Each structure stands twice: as structure tokens, then as C-alpha cells.
């Protein structure tokens, strides 16, 4: 399937922020497709085949309610990026590696500080250079945090808790990490030797492409009460970390996406795209993928924990302050490439669903039992990174997000392919352009900055306005970048 081809399929307007692909569009669709977008975004959505992927996902056995896409939708492997689909396990619901993606548990964590912009601005270059020099970044980068093969198996089961035990963080960090940093049911035996090989030296490394560490300042607060619970106020400096499961997660996806093609005929599953290869969640094949995927997810949580630990050390050194004075507490860490087994009330009864969120963020409402006590009143913190020249957001989950299985967008969403962005950046210095805006940037290569230039992405402000106005998450605060390191 080409990502370049214009999509001219049938799209019905439901309301100002939702569009339907009726299941009559393609024979074999079990449910409608629903895309969250504004009128202005529809033209961009039609510019690739992502909407066709929304229709294709509707073929999955056991799919419940809708095949969904968030406003940061763009073309991906099997599922579009921005895709959400829930399957009912008790009625033969399937799990698809393409519904999780290659960077399993790519996700974001947001860290508060007691610093203000005026504290940081005089030392901003020192801070960015310090982060760049102390946090390994880029393709194949290797970290200072070394682990043996035996320890790696423990890390895949224990996740962030394993690295905290080793001294890379604080116990309370786990309280504000999704799944407390380790999803249960990880099976190290389901991970291939090749995946182990690719992951063994990459703990505590940032990765390449759109992965980043960003020093930000809060420039707008929309919900002062919720912001106060999160420990945030206008003018405060925050740190955002965006990374995933590195080579290990990629290999897990590659192994199972290829291997599951054979299971389609075994279980009599008919999908229009082999990239939607899948297996019933309760089958041996489904259980093995889930076990391996959870290992990669735990690896990613451990990785982001290590990255935060390294960053805290740099802040302490640059500002000559201890941890208590710096106040670098974790607000939250949330995944946006994962499949989770969750209970949802659907069709008048509670059902056990496998919720695929690929480029989509969990957004649990106030009072949800899985939230830490501190966030019971506010709802789950939802962290939405933008591009490195505009803004990022902190949102909160809502009860209305029930209609999306408590899911929302995950970022801005690409407008240009990486090759198109590199071409558009020829003859330009993206670094100099950003420095004119007061944003200090360091990266492992010139091409990385071109790939990640602001215009390669949708405007995150528009994306967030859609999910806010649709009611599936609500705005709490907006951050703008001060300094960025890119892989």
C-alpha cells in the first residue's frame, strides 16, 4: 500500500469533530470507521491512505463499536498511526502486532521542576549541551547502564522497578508511571535471540528520529485546579522525554508481524492487508506475542526511567542544586504504542477487551481505579508532544473518552515523509532557524533536524483543539520548547 496515494473513499460528517467511514464502504467491514478531525484537517487526511487503513482495521475478528483514528492520523504499518481498536477476547477477538507498531511502548514522560524560565535562560546552552553529552542518542546508540543477559531477562519482567532498585530513580517515580512501570504477563522466553542482541546495550539511550528530550516552559494554563494538583503553574520549567523500546521492541514487532501471517489461514481470518496479520488473543500465537510485547513495553519504561535519572543528574550539576531544591518530580509516564487487556462497559455489560492504541494515548477519567490517589479527582495526565518549534500539551482524561475506549491523540502527527522533509530542508539550517526563536537544539546529525523540522508535522494546537472540543480529553497546560536534544 502506497502512503502517497490520494484517498477518495466515502467520509460522512457526524459532527464538527467526527467523520464516519460506513461499514458499507467495503464488504467485510464489521464496524464503521470513525475519525476525529476538524473540517480543515480532512484534506490532509485524504492525502494518504491512512483512512483506508481505518477501514481495513474494521475487518478484524471481534472488533467492538468502531475502528477509530485520532486527529494526528497518518499512514502506518497495518494500522494507521493514531489508530485505536478494541477486540472482545471472549468472542474470538484478535491481537495484531500492526496495531501496536514497531516501537512498542514508545511513550512520553513529563517531569516538573522548581525552576522558572529566568533561572534557565542564562544556562540554557550549558543545560542542552550537558543533556546531549550525558544522554546517548541516535540509531544504535549504546548506554552507560550495562546489564548482563541474565539481568536483561529480569528487566523485561520488572521494567522500571528493576532500574529503580539499581539506584536509577526513586520509588515514588513508579507511582506516576502507567502500570507502575511494568505490565504483568511479560514472557522473556517469547523474545527472540536477535531481539535480545539488539536491546542489550541500549538501556538508557534516547533513540533516533522523533525521539527527544526537551526543556520546556509552561506558557498557558487552562485548568488551574488540575495544574495545581500536577504541581504546575505558568512560567514553570518542565522536562519532557519521548522514547521507546529501541531495537528490542522493533525486533519483537518484526518477528511476530511476519510470523503471524501464517496464522491467518490457520484461524480462517480474512483481512485486506497482510500487515494486519493477527491471532486470537487466547491462542498460543496471541499469548506469545502478548508476552513478548509486554517485555518490550517493560524495557521501554525502564529506558525512560534511566533517561530521567541521567537528566536529573545533568540539571543538578548545571544549576548546582540538590534534588529537593530542584523539585524534579515525575508528573506521569504514559505509553502510546501498546495493546492492553482492559475491562470496558460496552453494549450494557462489562467486557474484557484487547485495546490497541497505536499512536494514541490512554486517557482514563476521574475516579478510574487504575489512577494513583492523587489523580482521582483530575483524571489521568495525558502528555501530548508537539514539534520542536511550536508547543506541547498536558491534558487530562475525561468520562466522555469512554466512546474511544478512553483514548486520545498522541502528538502532532506527520504531514511530510522523512525523505520529503530532508528535501525541503536542503540549503537551510533548521538549527539556526530555531535559535532565532530562542530554542537551542542539539542532534546527532543534520538530517535528523531536517526530518523533524516543524513544518513536517501538523500543528499540535489544532490537533489538541479537536480532542478538547470533542471532549475526549481536556486541556490543562501548554508548554513551549526552550532547548531540545534529538536522536
Residue-level pLDDT at 178: 97
**Is 80 exceeded by the pLDDT of residue 2?**
no
Q: What is the pLDDT of residues 185-208, one digit of tens each?
A: 999 999 999 998 887 766 556 555
**Residue 222 is assigned to a structural domain of this protein:** yes
Question: Does 326 or 5 have the greater pLDDT score?
Answer: 326
Residue-level pLDDT at 66: 97
DSSP strand pairing (107-116 vs 94-95): unpaired
Residue-level pLDDT at 173: 97
Residue-level pLDDT at 142: 58
Residue-level pLDDT at 271: 97
* Mean predicted confidence (pLDDT) in 440-457: 77
**Residue 465 is assigned to a structural domain of this protein:** yes
Euclidean distance between CA atoms 473 and 413, whole angstroms: 17
**Residue 62 is assigned to a structural domain of this protein:** yes
Q: What is the pLDDT of residues 312-324, one digit of tens each?
A: 999 999 999 998 8
Euclidean distance between CA atoms 465 and 117, whole angstroms: 26
Residue-level pLDDT at 19: 98
The residues that bridge with 336 in the sheet, in sequence order, are none
**Residue 5 is assigned to a structural domain of this protein:** no
The residues that bridge with 83 in the sheet, in sequence order, are 69, 358
Residue-level pLDDT at 413: 76
Question: Does 146 or 134 have the greater pLDDT score?
Answer: 134
- Provide the 3-class DSSP secondary structure of residue 58: coil
**Residue 2 is assigned to a structural domain of this protein:** no
Residue-level pLDDT at 457: 78
CATH number at residue 299: 3.90.1860.10
Residue 386, Cβ neighbours under 10 Å: how many?
A: 26
* Mean predicted confidence (pLDDT) in 477-486: 94
Residue-level pLDDT at 228: 97
Residue-level pLDDT at 366: 98
* Mean predicted confidence (pLDDT) in 100-127: 97
Q: How many domains is the chain built from?
A: 1
Contacts of 348 (CB under 8 A, 6+ apart): none
**Is 60 exceeded by the pLDDT of residue 281?**
yes
* Residue pair 374/450 in contact by the 8 Å Cβ criterion: no
Q: What is the pLDDT of residues 368-399, one digit of tens each?
A: 999 999 999 999 999 999 987 889 999 999 99
* Mean predicted confidence (pLDDT) in 108-132: 97
Residue-level pLDDT at 432: 83
* Residue pair 143/202 in contact by the 8 Å Cβ criterion: yes
**Is 50 exceeded by the pLDDT of residue 138?**
no
Question: Does 17 or 390 have the greater pLDDT score?
Answer: 17
Whole-prediction pTM value?
0.93
**Residue 333 is assigned to a structural domain of this protein:** yes
How many percent of the chain have pLDDT more than 90? 75
Residue-level pLDDT at 384: 97
Residue-level pLDDT at 49: 93
Is 410 designated active site? yes
**Residue 97 is assigned to a structural domain of this protein:** yes
pLDDT band at 211 (very low <50, low <70, confident <90, very high): confident
Domain that holds residue 111: 12-486
User: HEC states along 240-260?
Assistant: EEEECCHHHHHHHHHHHHHHC
* Mean predicted confidence (pLDDT) in 107-118: 98
Residue-level pLDDT at 146: 63
**Residue 31 is assigned to a structural domain of this protein:** yes
Contacts of 334 (CB under 8 A, 6+ apart): 107, 108, 109, 178, 361, 362, 380, 381, 382, 383
Q: What's 287's DSSP letter?
A: H
Q: What is the pLDDT of residues 220-259, one digit of tens each?
A: 999 999 999 999 999 999 999 999 998 899 999 999 999 9
Q: What is the pLDDT of residues 334-357, one digit of tens each?
A: 999 999 999 999 878 899 999 999
**Is 50 exceeded by the pLDDT of residue 1?**
no
Residue-level pLDDT at 203: 58
Q: Which of 211, 309, 336, 410 is catalytic?
A: 410
Amino acid at each position: 500500500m502506497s502512503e502517497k496515494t490520494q484517498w477518495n473513499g466515502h467520509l460522512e460528517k457526524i459532527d464538527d469533530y467526527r467523520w464516519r467511514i460506513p461499514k458499507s464502504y467495503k464488504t467485510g467491514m464489521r464496524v464503521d470507521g470513525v475519525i476525529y478531525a476538524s473540517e480543515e484537517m480532512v484534506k490532509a487526511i485524504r492525502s494518504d491512505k491512512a483512512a483506508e487503513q481505518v477501514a481495513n482495521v474494521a475487518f478484524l475478528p471481534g472488533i467492538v463499536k468502531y475502528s477509530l483514528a485520532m486527529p494526528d492520523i497518518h499512514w502506518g504499518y497495518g494500522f494507521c498511526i493514531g489508530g485505536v481498536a478494541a477486540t472482545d477476547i471472549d468472542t474470538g477477538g484478535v491481537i495484531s502486532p500492526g496495531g501496536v507498531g514497531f516501537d512498542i511502548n514508545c511513550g512520553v514522560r513529563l517531569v516538573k521542576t522548581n525552576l522558572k524560565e529566568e533561572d534557565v535562560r542564562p544556562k540554557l546552552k550549558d543545560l542542552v549541551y550537558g543533556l546531549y553529552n550525558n544522554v546517548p542518542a541516535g540509531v544504535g546508540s549504546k548506554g552507560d547502564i550495562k546489564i548482563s543477559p541474565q539481568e536483561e531477562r529480569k528487566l523485561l519482567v520488572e521494567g522500571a522497578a528493576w532500574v529503580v532498585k539499581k539506584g536509577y530513580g526513586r520509588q515514588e517515580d513508579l507511582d506516576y508511571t502507567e502500570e507502575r512501570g511494568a505490565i504483568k504477563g511479560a514472557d522473556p522466553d517469547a523474545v527472540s535471540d536477535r531481539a535480545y542482541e539488539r536491546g542489550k546495550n541500549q538501556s538508557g539511550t534516547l533513540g533516533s528520529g522523533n525521539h527527544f528530550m526537551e526543556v520546556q516552559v509552561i506558557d498557558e494554563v487552562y485548568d488551574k485546579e488540575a495544574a495545581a494538583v500536577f504541581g504546575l503553574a505558568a512560567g514553570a520549567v518542565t522536562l519532557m522525554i519521548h522514547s521507546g523500546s529501541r531495537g528490542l521492541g522493533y525486533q519483537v514487532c518484526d518477528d511476530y508481524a511476519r510470523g503471524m501471517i501464517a496464522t491467518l489461514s490457520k484461524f480462517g481470518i480474512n483481512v485486506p492487508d497482510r500487515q494486519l496479520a493477527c491471532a486470537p488473543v487466547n491462542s498460543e500465537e496471541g499469548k506469545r506475542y502478548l508476552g513478548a510485547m509486554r517485555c518490550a513495553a517493560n524495557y521501554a519504561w525502564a529506558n525512560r526511567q534511566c533517561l530521567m535519572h541521567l537528566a536529573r543528574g545533568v540539571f543538578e550539576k548545571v544549576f548546582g542544586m540538590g534534588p529537593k531544591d530542584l523539585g524534579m518530580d515525575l508528573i506521569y509516564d504514559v505509553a502510546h504504542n501498546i495493546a492492553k487487556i482492559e475491562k470496558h462497559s460496552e453494549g450494557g455489560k462489562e467486557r474484557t477487551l484487547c485495546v490497541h492504541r497505536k499512536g494514541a494515548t490512554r486517557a482514563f477519567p476521574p475516579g478510574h481505579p487504575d489512577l494513583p490517589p492523587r489523580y482521582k479527582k483530575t483524571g489521568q495526565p495525558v502528555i501530548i508532544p508537539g514539534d520542536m518549534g511550536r508547543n506541547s500539551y498536558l491534558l487530562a482524561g475525561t468520562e466522555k473518552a469512554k466512546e474511544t475506549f478512553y483514548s486520545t491523540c498522541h502528538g502532532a502527527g506527520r504531514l511530510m515523509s522523512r525523505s520529503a522533509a530532508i528535501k525541503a530542508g536542503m540549503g537551510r539550517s533548521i538549527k539556526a532557524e530555531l535559535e532565532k526563536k530562542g530554542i537551542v537544539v542539539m542532534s546527532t546529525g543534520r538530517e535528523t533536524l531536517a526530518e523533524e523540522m516543524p513544518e513536517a508535522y501538523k500543528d499540535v494546537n489544532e490537533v489538541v483543539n479537536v480532542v478538547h472540543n470533542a471532549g475526549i480529553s481536556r486541556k490543562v497546560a501548554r508548554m513551549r520548547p526552550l532547548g531540545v536534544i534529538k536522536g
